[in-house]
Structure 1
Amino acid sequence: MALTDLATRPGAEEAPLEGAAATTGAEPTTVADGDDSGPNYAWAPADPAPRKRRLALWIGIPAGVCVVALVATSLVLIAPGTSVAGVPVGGLTPGAAADAIEGRLAETTIVLTGAGGDAEITGAELGASVDARALADAAFAQNPMWNPTTWFSTPVEAPIRIDADAATSALRAAAPDLYTDPVDALVAFDAASATYVAVPSELGTGIDVDTVRTTLAEAFAAGQTVVELDAEAAPVEAERPTFVAAATVTRLNSMLDSVGFYVGAERTVPIDRAVAASWITVEPAARGTFEISADPAAIQPVVDGLAPLVNRPAENGVVITDSRGGVLREDAAGISGRELGDTSTVASDFATQLTAGNGVYALPVAEVAPVITSLARRIEVDLGDQRTYLFENDNVVQSWAISSGAEGFSSSTGNFRITSKLTSQDMGELCYNPNSQTPGAYCTRDVPWVMYYNGDEALHGAYWHNNFGNVMSHGCINMPVSAAQYVFGWAPKGTEVSVHY
């Protein structure tokens, strides 16, 4: 169907066309079409499709990003209302909070009033410090922004430290009139008494650093940037007080009491107290103490002279035995000798010991063992020869004529041992029973150097005759007194006695 027909049809609505033309601004176009002289109309260009409205999307994306950013930020920030010792740190990262804490402490100012004048001292000048990062981390851990229940919580406490030396220097410069120097205790050697003595310390005056620290800490905790302190002179202890010097003196004097070179428990070479003190230096040391040192070069001359004082030859021993080696008597025990060893490091080693408070130096010595000589002794009595022989290691060392038992009182033969020894004894029945009627009974007073070997038979001295070499006795072996005395000392109890023909 032609456009012209549509346009001229009864009841056809032209509003759309008019509307279209009005909307687009296009003019109707007349087109010739055959013989029809009426106007012809062509379609106007169609309106472009309207774009979809995306305003909500463009608003929603930034808002979402903001929300994500806010959530992410809340994960690294400290909750609002949080403070560390009066320093507000809410909304800060731990690093920024640490900087804020340190800065506030450094700027906190103490104004000295009263006798100290009106000087001002900052926390930085006092050497004040605080573990700001640890406090900030703790504040974040306890009060993170992401947890609303921790907002506006209790302030975190901050322990404050002060550098005592820096604080004293700053306070002294600010209020010099309040300061007098204390006098440290000293340690000295008194030659008259040969002992160390303590020279007491003396108090000084100054501003009490602990009071300053407390004042600064309280101001910092309260969030105050300026605080006043009524500065007054207070006693100031010496760096090295008397009790430290006294303890050092006790230690030194105890060392002098025992100082020397030892072999075992024996102080073989004692050292004079004054000499030992001349080796030692006592000087002030850190933290109010005293340092003890010793000079190896001063010790060396004494070390060089040790050998003749320490070396000792061995003392040989002698033991008396029977023929089987059994010990009957120890005539000389034998004493070990000693010889000083290497002394090349003794001086330096002793100096180190003295520094540690030990004055007992154990010397390196080698033991020299004694030689122990064994003498096997025995006695032989030859009744046929009427002689006694003394054997030592099977060698005859002495021999004397004797008088053995006369007829009717023959001396017994056999192998015996000396059982008892008496320096003197009355012999004979009549000595103990004067009324005895026994035939041949007798009494001899004070028989010397008696050595029993077989019941009542003995070797002994005879002062009542000089007929040795012939039988004379009542069974005992008579010997010259001097010979009997010699044998008495030579033969210990247990010595073997052989009586034979």
Structure 2
Amino acid sequence: MTDLAIRPDADAEHSGAADTLVDDETFVDDSPAPEPEYQWAPADEAPKKRRVGMWVGIAAGVTAIAVAASSLVLIAPGTAVAGVPVGWLTAGAATDALQSRLADTTVVLTGAGGDVEVTGADLGATVDGRALADTAFAEHPMWNVSAWFAEPLDASIALDAEAATAALRAAAPDLYTDPVDAVVSFDAETASYVATPAVEGTGIDVDALRLALQDAYTSGQTRLEFDAVATPVTALTPTYVADATVSSLNEILDTAGFYVGDERTVPVSRDIAASWLTVTPGDRGTFEITADEDAIAEFVPGLAEAVNRDAVDARVITDTGGEVLREEIAGVDGRVLGETSTVSSDYAAQLAQGDGVFQLPVEQTPFATTALARNIVVDLSDQRVYLYENGGLVSSYLASTGLAGSPTHVGNFRINWKTPLQDLGCFEGAPYCTEDVPWLAYFNGDQALHGAYWHNNFGNTMSHGCVNLPPATAKFVYDWSAVGTEVRVQY
């Protein structure tokens, strides 16, 4: 529905009206006021108010907010990293400025190298711009007025050694000679590995250049002169690396073989072991050792014959208390070679690590031990010697013990010393001298069981205290007994 308003007719309002001028700007209507006429008409819209002052205030507020916001992301005025100003910049822009300044820095090579130029970018110079920019903002944000115009932050320059060397070599080739790497080879004449020493080259000292570039960058210079003096350049593979590799390889040759425990059951000769090995340059100036698995595999079929064996039981001589006095037969474990399908590959991998001792897979069969408890009885009553083993009588022999003036002493003794031949009593003042007495086993001071070649009256007392036996019998007793064997002299 249309809004209508009742208003006086405009034409009727002013028809026939006489206006009187009151002053320069105002008229007064002196005529009688006509009767108003009314009609329906749409209501006029209210005029819009102008808000000029409000818009000016909003703009100023936005500007203030923008300034405040920018202060939260910008680095404070007067801030520098090394020699690069980064004030009024964001961390991202500061990062670009730091790296750009370094990349554009010019190095003039002077001296024998000639006046040639390279840039930081050519040298592969880098700086951790992002970390430095972040630090600059963290320590010197714009919003913190007290952090404005602070001391410059330090920055460390890094050079890509390969890129720097390539750029410098291209700029000053006369300053460069190539070093010669150390070499490892096998000398067939000595069957050993030998090292050929490395030879130094020459070139520009990249680290010295980095320090000079560091100083220039820190002081804000974008151009510097560097005296390009040739300095020694170490070979990629130095002599000491070759010497260490030779030592490891020769250790392999010294020990190469297939082992069972500590026993090198199947030795491998030095020249054959060397034929299995290949030595090539490795990463970062080292050497890589590899082994020929197929060549090693040729040895595997013959391993069983060398390894397999039956057990050999041990035999020991003891006293009656079980203490071992002598080993008659050494015990040997039996053994059988185990699975060999991976021997060649496993040994090849082991040789590549510098280990020439390969332990074979073996199943052991332990040996048994037989103990023989032996003792001797000398009976003065019947002039006999009795030999016992494990409590049983082995044999008995007629003997000749001491005469009444030099009796064989009764008691329990042990054999404490043995000798196959000795002169008896042959010294100044001795009552007798018997030379070349055989098979002596001393059990009581100067009394011994021994052979007597000068009489055949065994079964009767004849000696100066020793126990005389026929020489052949004395040898048997000598061999049969051990040092520590118990000897009982009784009636």
Q: TM over 0.5: same fold?
A: yes
Residues in 1 aligned to 2:60 and 2:174: alpha-carbon distance in whole angstroms: 67
1:281 partnered with 2:278: yes
- Structure 1 counterpart of 2:33, from 27, 31, 34: 31
- Alpha-carbon distance in 1 for matches of 2:306, 2:316: 30
- Aligned mates of 2:177, 2:194 — CA distance in 1: 26
Report the Cα offset of residue 141 of structure 1: 1.5
1:137 equivalent in structure 2: 134
Once residues 189 and 392 of structure 2 are traced to their aligned partners in structure 1, the CA distance between those partners, rounded to angstroms, is: 66
SS in structure 2 of the partner of residue 305 of structure 1: helix
Aligned letter for 2:119? T
1:335 is displaced (CA, Å) by: 1.6
Secondary structure, aligned partner of 2:89: coil
Task: For residue 209 of structure 1, report the CA deviation from its aligned partner.
Answer: 2.1
**Could you say which residue in structure 2 is the equivalent of 1:301?**
298
Between 1:184-193 and 1:248-257, the stretch displaced more is 248-257
Matched, 1:152 2:152: no
CA deviation profile, 1:165-194 (whole Å, cap 9, x unmatched): 112222223333433322112122222223
Contact 1:104 1:225 in 2 (8 A): yes
Contact 2:334-2:367 within 8 A present in 1 as well: no
Q: Which residue does the alignment assign to 1:248?
A: 245
Within-5 A mapping of 1:17-166:
22=25, 27=29, 30-31=32-33, 57-113=54-110, 115-117=112-114, 119-166=116-163
Distance 2:338 2:120 in 1: 64
State whether residues 314 and 370 of structure 1, in contact with CA within 8 Å, keep that contact through their aligned partners in structure 2.
yes
Say whether 1:359 aligns with 2:356.
yes
Aligned position for 1:208: 205
CA gap of 1:377–1:356, structure 2 versus 1, over 3 A, is: closer
Task: Say if 1:328 and 1:494, in contact at 8 Å, map to a contact too.
Answer: no
Aligned equivalents of 2:359 and 2:477: distance in 1? 47
SS of alignment partner, residue 298 of structure 2: helix
Counterpart CA distance in 2 for 1:104 and 1:117 is 25
Give the drift of 1:91: 0.8
What is the CA-CA distance between 1:473 and the residue it aligns to? Answer: 8.3
What is the CA distance between 1:30 and its match in structure 2? 1.9
* Pairing 1:291–2:288 present: yes
- Which position in structure 2 is the counterpart of 1:337? 333
Contact residue 21 and residue 27 of structure 1 kept, 8 A: no
- Contact 1:87/1:100 (8 A) holds in 2: yes
What is the match of residue 347 of structure 1? 344
Aligned to 1:185: 182
SS in 2 for 1:306: helix
Conservation of the 8 A alpha-carbon contact between 2:452 and 2:470:
yes
For normalisation by structure 1, the TM-score amounts to 0.67
Deviations 1:442-496 (A, max 9, x none): xxxx99999999xxxx99999999999xx9889xx99988678757765774489
User: Does the 8 Å contact 1:311/1:337 carry over to 2?
Assistant: no
Deviating more after overlay: 104-113 vs 179-188: 104-113
In structure 2, the gaps of 5 or more residues are 1-19, 36-45, 401-410, 425-429
Match of 2:142, SS state, is coil
AA aligned to 2:165 is T
Shift in alpha-carbon separation, 1:490–1:418, aligned structure 2, 3 A: farther
- Normalising by structure 2, we get a TM-score of 0.68
- SS, match of residue 252 in structure 1: helix
Instruction: Report the secondary structure of 1:235's partner residue.
Output: strand
Cα offset, 1:220, TM superposition: 2.8
1:22 to 1:266, Cα distance in 2 relative to 1, 3 A: same
Q: Distance in 2 between matches of 1:150 and 1:173?
A: 46
Q: Which is worse superposed, 176-185 or 159-168? A: 176-185
Deviation at 1:351, TM superposition (A): 3.2
Q: Per-residue deviation at 1:130?
A: 1.0
C-alpha distance 22-202 of structure 1, shift in aligned 2 (>3 A): same
Residue from 157, 165, 169 that aligns with 1:168: 165
2:333 maps to a residue whose letter is G
Contact (CA 8 Å) 1:205, 1:235: kept in 2 or not? Answer: yes
Q: Which runs of 5+ in 1 are unaligned?
A: 1-16, 34-48, 404-415, 427-431, 435-445
Contact 1:314-1:338 at 8 Å conserved across structures: yes
SS of the counterpart of 2:367?
A: coil
Secondary structure in 2 matching 1:283: strand
Work out whether residues 21 and 28 of structure 2, in 8 Å CA contact, stay in contact via their aligned partners in 1.
no
Residue of structure 2 equivalent to 1:224: 221
Q: CA offset at residue 117 of structure 1?
A: 4.6
AA in 1 matched with 2:311:
A
